[in-house]
Chains A and B, each alone.
Chain A
Amino acid sequence: MTIRLLLVDDHAMVRSGVRTELATDPQIEVVGEAADVETAIAQVHALRPDVVLLDVHLPGGTVRPGGKEVLQRSADLLVSTPEQPPVRFLALSVSDAAEDVIAVIRSGARGYVTKTISGPDLAAAVRRVADGDAVFSPRLAGFVLDAFGTGAGEVATVDDELDRLSAREREVMRLIARGYAYKEVARELFISVKTVETHVSAVLRKLQLSNRNELTRWAADRRLL
């Protein structure tokens, strides 16, 4: 079964480049493209792709970053219904700004990769997202560790399980931040790849559901450090 993919990026060059790279993967079929917020939302609803490769910064719309608005206005498709599987979003960006990345993740994206990612890695990430797993790039893992880990002073005072990473999740995040692929993480920790994916999904859930405002404030503060 092929994965139907919608490409959302305002740069035609990026779109064609990604299209070429993903063309080598027989499992992935690019079914559409969009260059701005409104088109993206319309396409997502019209095509109902399995995966949307979403640029974080998009023209159009009223919310910044534009990718966040696409996610917010496609929120009805993020959950699965009896008839339809959910549409899953993978953020793809050159942005280094933690608040942008955290914003799209918290709005429902299943992962974040940078545009420097290699073609095979991107294809693997798309497949992983299509399977319902989360995709963490080293940079995103670094953001997560920074937000939940040693850098966040309020961790000690917060008891909510959502606001903390378990020791195992931390280990997984650290290995991903060090550049390990999922299967390498699995081998390193003597666990299965599926378990790694479970941990990563749990971290993503915490990132999305953790209701502490500190998370977004942390992201904003990062720029001032």
Chain B
Amino acid sequence: MVPMEPTISIPVRPPLVRPETGRVVAGVAAGVAVHLGLPVRAVRILFVLTALGGGAGLLLYIWLWALVPSGEAAQAMPATAPPGPPAAAASARTVVPTTPAGQPGRVGQVATDVPGAGLPGPTARPVSRRVASTRIGDLVVGGLLLAGGLAVLGSQIGWQVPLGAALPLIVVVGGAALVYSQLDEVQDTRWALSGASGRSTALRVAAGVVLVLAGVLLAVIGSTDVAYAGRVLAAVAAMLGGVLLVLTPWGIRFWRDLGAEREARAREAVRADIAAHLHDSVLQTLALIQRNSDDSGQVIRLARTQERELRSWLYGGGSTRADGSRPATLERQVRAAAEDVEDLHGVPVDVVVVGDRSLDERGEALVAALREAMVNAVRHAGAPVMVYVEALPDGVEAFVRDRGPGFDLAAVPGDRHGVRESIIGRMDRYGGSADVRAVPGEGTEVRLRLPDPVPEATEDRDHPEVPDQAPPREQTGVGAGAPAAATPEEAT
């Protein structure tokens, strides 16, 4: 049982695997050396000596060969790898260290040497789960080999090894090995026995425990008669039950503490995330506001920008695509334009968008015209500026309203491009329409309408075949009271 002792007591050691490189025969000695932190040469000498002295070393070697899966020693160590250049860090996880191949004597330092020495070698390949490769078949073979080895050892030193005594031992060892092989797996999943791998892990552990218990029972009962065996079984069961009864509260308590601790950790992570965000954004802005407190325009701009940023963080978090980019939809572009105008002029612009759709060239023209209208509004009227955009089944309508003094379009000099060219002209070119309604003393409203192109209809500005749609320059401007049964054209 000597070989089992070091292996059972070391959950934090590098896992016992046979490295793919640096093998002499099967990598058992190298693996054991890494596992135990011993010089590989010493391990090898030990194996050879014990093999010569009665064959036990040889059998142990074969047993480990059968039991220990091959894999990468380095893979278990990424958490301890110091942060290095990305290539080195990546290679620490996926690349076979080249050191042990050249210098077998230094295998014990593989794990710490990797980040520095981790040049991508020809054997680079994705990490595979090493424990999963352990099969029950391997265990059985290994157990039998071990039993044979012990029998040989026993007969060498003069024991008469009764087969009846060896059998329980084999069973116990097999069970223990089975449980041990799952130890790292269980640690990785943090006792979260969910999913297929978790279930199979639990199954293997249970099988191992049963094997060990059966082996112990076999050893205890031995060759005595069946009635006695039954009584022993009952006694053992009673004792186990008693122990279980005593230990269960502790177990449950431990389990709960573990869950509570993990929950607290998760909460703490969320809190830290929020704190970091608030620090980066809100506190910085507040500091800036205090510094610029005599410049009211700057203060408004800062406050508004921060408000917008915080809002999008709080309420708009889900709109990022899988690849991290944001689709250019009508709503997003309109909001972005409004934010730009706010930032440039320090006047808040309230945006209400109903419906959404994807954006083509014509839609971009609409957003550009809308932006121009917003600039006019904030420049000539000031707050409050209201922007309303609605994606209708047959087009898009947009309104910019301010409460400024209003102005007369006809009185605007012909060389001023703002309204006439950037808004009306642009909308005309894309088959839309724009009009400006200014009521002195009540403010101005710019209305933009961009109907979807109707097949076989030229780009005219009126669509008489759409009954609900108001002509572009009509008096009420309520436009399309779109039929409720219309097909929605939401882009997203």
A binds B: yes
- A131 vs chain B, min Cβ distance (A): 24
| A189 and B476 contact, CB distance less than 8 A | yes
**Complexed CA–CA distance, A64 and B492 (Å):** 28
User: Contacts A142-B352, A146-B355, A179-B401 known; A189 to B484 CB distance under 8 Å?
Assistant: no
What chain A residues lie within 8 Å of B356 (beta carbons)? 151, 225
Shortest distance in angstroms between A41's beta carbon and chain B's nearest beta carbon? 27
For A, the interface residue count at a CB cutoff of 8 angstroms equals: 36
Q: Which residues of A sit under 8 angstroms from B413, Cβ to Cβ?
A: none
A76, CB-defined interface residue at 8 Å: no
- Contact B481 A170, beta carbon cutoff 8 Å: yes
* Cβ of B334 to closest chain A Cβ, rounded Å: 12
Quick one: CB contact mask for B342-367 with A, threshold 8 Å, 1 for yes?
A: 00000010101111100000000000
Name the B residues within 8 Å of A145 (CB-CB): 354, 390
Q: How far is the CB of A16 from chain B (nearest CB, A)?
A: 19
CB distance from A21 to the nearest CB of B (A): 16
In the assembled complex, A149 has its CB within 8 A of some CB on chain B: yes
Q: Given the complex, which residues of A lie within 8 Å of B482, measured CB to CB?
A: 149-150, 170
Partner of B350, one of A95, A138, A151, A174: A138
Decide if B137 is an interface residue (CB 8 Å cutoff): no
With A151-B354, A223-B317 as known contacts, state yes or no: A156 contacts B481, CB within 8 Å: no
Check A193 for interface membership: any CB of B closer than 8 A. no
Contact across chains for A150 and B319 when beta carbons are under 8 A apart: no
Q: What's the interface size class on B, roughly?
A: 35 or more
A187 to B249, CA, bound (A): 75
Q: Tell me the smallest distance from the CB of B285 to a CB of chain A, in Å.
A: 16
How far apart are the CA atoms of A80 and B487 in the complex, in Å?
Answer: 41
| Contact status B489-A150, CB under 8 Å | yes
- Smallest CB gap from A163: residue in B: B484
Nearest CB on A from B67, distance (A): 50
Q: A224 to chain B: which residues have CB within 8 Å?
A: 318-319
Whether B180 is near chain A, meaning CB under 8 Å from some CB there, is no
- A155-B388 CB under 8 A given contacts A138-B350, A139-B352, A177-B354: no
Contact residues of A between 16 and 44, Cβ < 8 Å to B: none
CB–CB A177/B486 < 8 A: no
B302 CB → nearest A CB, Å: 16
Q: Which residues on the A side are within 8 Å of B317 (C-beta)? A: 223
Known contacts A150-B490, A156-B487, A179-B401; decide if A225 and B319 are in contact (CB<8 Å): yes
Q: Which of B319, B352, B445, B492 contacts A177 (CB 8 A)?
A: B352
23 A-B pairs whose Cβ atoms sit less than 8 Å apart in the complex:
A97-B314, A116-B350, A138-B350, A138-B386, A142-B388, A145-B354, A145-B390, A146-B354, A150-B391, A150-B482, A150-B486, A151-B356, A156-B484, A156-B486, A170-B481, A177-B352, A178-B399, A179-B401, A180-B401, A189-B478, A225-B319, A225-B331, A225-B356
- Top 7 closest A-B pairs, CB basis? A179-B386, A142-B352, A167-B481, A178-B388, A224-B318, A151-B355, A145-B354
